[in-house]
A and B are shown apart, each in its own frame.
Chain A
Amino acid sequence: MEILIQTLVAGVLLGGVYALVSVGLNLLFGVVRVINFAHGEFVMIGMYIAFWLWAGLGLDPYVSLLIVAPAMFLLGVIFQRGIIQPIQGTSANMKIFVTVGISIILQNLALFLWGGQHRTVSTSYSTSVFNLGGVTISVGRLIAFIGALVLVAALFYIMNRTMTGTVLRAIAEDGPTAVLVGIPVKKFYFVATGISVMLAGVAGVMLTPFTSASPMFGFHMTLIAFIVVVIGGMGSMVGSLVGGVLLGAIETLAGTYISPALQQAVLFAIFIIVVLVRPQGLFGKGAGTEEVGLK
């Protein structure tokens, strides 16, 4: 029983970060209508920036957020202008292969520049834990979880309470009409992609105190984020949040009770089952889902 609670807590905390990565993917899909296979790579880049700032300048990962967040937003804007914008009007298949290509490039760029070894940031609080009613909680994981929740909540607020958010939702609902009523859609695409990439990078930084960076980590995150989006439902922010936490819990439970070697296999199996049984996801709204066959 104690092990179960312990596992669940660790899983839920990790799931918060998954949720943060997934809301970004979901935002990009909802507004810009591009399924970004390179999304996880931005998490990986965030991790490496945090690592090098720590290794080179001795900067604490949480302090480096001040540099990583704007840098990643800028990277997102460049990504939108250089890669996404030219392919936006094309077929879904073209978008797949361009973003898969970007993912291959970034993954191997990291391998080329920084080698295949795992890079670990070790801070004073990396291994520190505290005890809460018999359950041991890692400080790094708890901070990552709370940070992720705060950011997801902030995105909620922006999307539902501000003008920018209203416009973004309008574009997500009906892009062509948004153009007709005079919304500078292209500008808002920059905002959406920028936020999406920034959230991925920030999630990467939050992971660094307890996870080591490696070139293949991004690919793993892309798969996780996709599974979360499918489980939660395309276009549903609440769905991403719940899906992320659920997936984190399932992953750690599978690691403890089945086998660490089959941890990922269980996730993929769940993904395929969800797609077959409830393709619209737990909180799916259906908007845009017919495009990818998730009716």
Chain B
Amino acid sequence: MKRSHLISGVVVLALMAFLPLIIGQYLLNNAVLIVMFVGITVAWNIAAFGGALSLGHAAFFGLGSYTMAILLLDFGVNPWIGMLAGMVVAAGGGLLLSIPLLRLRGPFFTLASIAFAEVIRLVAVYARDFTGGSEGLTIPYAPGWLNMSFSDREPYYYIVLGLTAIAVLVSVWIYYSRVGYQLRASGSDDEATRALGVNTAVLKVVALVISAALTGAFGAFAAQYFFIVDPETNFSLNLYSIQPALNGIIGGAGTVLGPILGAVLMTPIGEYMRGAFAGQQGLNFMIYGVVLVGVVMLMPGGLVSGIEKLRARFRLKRGVGRRTDTTAALDESRAEDRL
């Protein structure tokens, strides 16, 4: 990791911290959602470093929510400890999903991840005694930092900002570490990486488990923020499985900046469309789908690679480019592999 990255990261975080002073409660709600989706997308992307495109992360999100809620309601466990427990349970879920991860590649892992999340959702609906069935659980309103429960949105904003900062830090650290290089190598060519003596199986499992635990933390946060946990929302395929994957792919999966860019761009669009087309069900997700197909077909590496390509072309035109056509082509192929 370069020093300049660290500095720009700190600057962005400091600017973000001042946001609540400028904007009102309504916009702050949007800010909380955007920051939360940045965090979830970044967490999802950690598994994608190793080439695992999961559409089952709603399982980890929901496990985080339910663990916290059940511990709080049935055993009176403090929500902060509940959040940690939620991360542990979600990590356990990640360990379970890593069984098909090591057996399957490409579409069949993606499919197995959907099936995995659906099984957990259906079990949550079924086990009424614990989970409250399809009505779900309501989190009692008890304001105070100790209870992670507030009447204003500011504290929630700072908590989710902190969680997302941690997720980004973990993602950046993995990306630039030795493990990250090996992981990314395995994502683009698993067999070649193994041939070089890297135990890619362990790396992939570790990445998935970290990704799952972080997603679980956001699930626990969401339970406190929305005061309600129910299977249709907290295990929602659309919201927490497809959306993070979509944000990541649109921004550029497997890169550090891509998922952040994707989530920052797509979450407000989604929120706006949900409000604007409230009467016309389905229209907002339809536009999401169109954007996804368009970006994937026109810019295979996502927005990040699109921007890089534009920059490369600009440099070449000015004649100061150090990059020759071959390196540009190499970049392009790398961008495709990354996806």
Q: Which residues does A use to contact B, with CB under 8 Å?
A: 35, 37, 83, 86-87, 90-98, 100-105, 107-112, 115-116, 215, 223, 226-227, 230, 259, 261-262, 264-265, 268-269, 271-272, 275-276, 279, 291-294
A87 CA to B300 CA, complexed, in Å: 10
Interface: B95 (CB within 8 A): no
User: What is the interface of chain B, defined by CB distance below 8 A to chain A?
Assistant: 51, 53, 55, 99-100, 103-112, 114-116, 118-119, 122-123, 125-126, 242, 245, 249, 280-286, 288-290, 292-293, 296-297, 300, 336-337, 339
- The answer to whether A276 touches B99 (Cβ under 8 A) is yes
A230 contacts which chain B residues (CB < 8 A)? 108
Set of chain A residues within 8 Å of B283, measured between Cβ atoms: 108, 112
Extra A-B contacts (5), CB below 8 Å, given A105-B289, A293-B105: A94-B339, A98-B297, A108-B283, A265-B126, A292-B105
Shortest Cβ gap from B184 to chain A (Å): 14
Q: Does B116 contact A272, Cβ atoms closer than 8 Å?
A: yes
Q: How far is the CB of B112 from chain A (nearest CB, A)?
A: 6
Measured between beta carbons, the chain A residues less than 8 angstroms from B285 are: 104, 107-108, 111
Contact A96 B53 (CB under 8 A): yes
Q: Is the CB of B115 within 8 A of A105?
A: no
Contacts of A115 in B (CB 8 A): 281
Main secondary structure of the interface of B (DSSP, over half): helix
Most chain A CB atoms below 10 A, which of B115, B118, B339: B115
Contact residue among A95, A105, A107, A215 (Cβ-Cβ distance under 8 Å from B107): A95
* Cβ contact of B297, chosen from A86, A110, A275, cutoff 8 A: A86
Closest A residue to B277 by CB, please name it. Answer: A112
Across the interface, do B115 and A91 meet the contact criterion of CB distance under 8 Å? no
Q: List 28 A-B contacts (CB under 8 A).
A: A90-B336, A91-B339, A92-B106, A93-B53, A96-B106, A96-B110, A98-B296, A101-B289, A101-B290, A101-B292, A104-B288, A104-B289, A108-B284, A108-B285, A108-B286, A215-B282, A261-B125, A261-B126, A264-B122, A272-B100, A272-B116, A276-B100, A291-B105, A292-B108, A293-B106, A293-B108, A293-B109, A294-B104
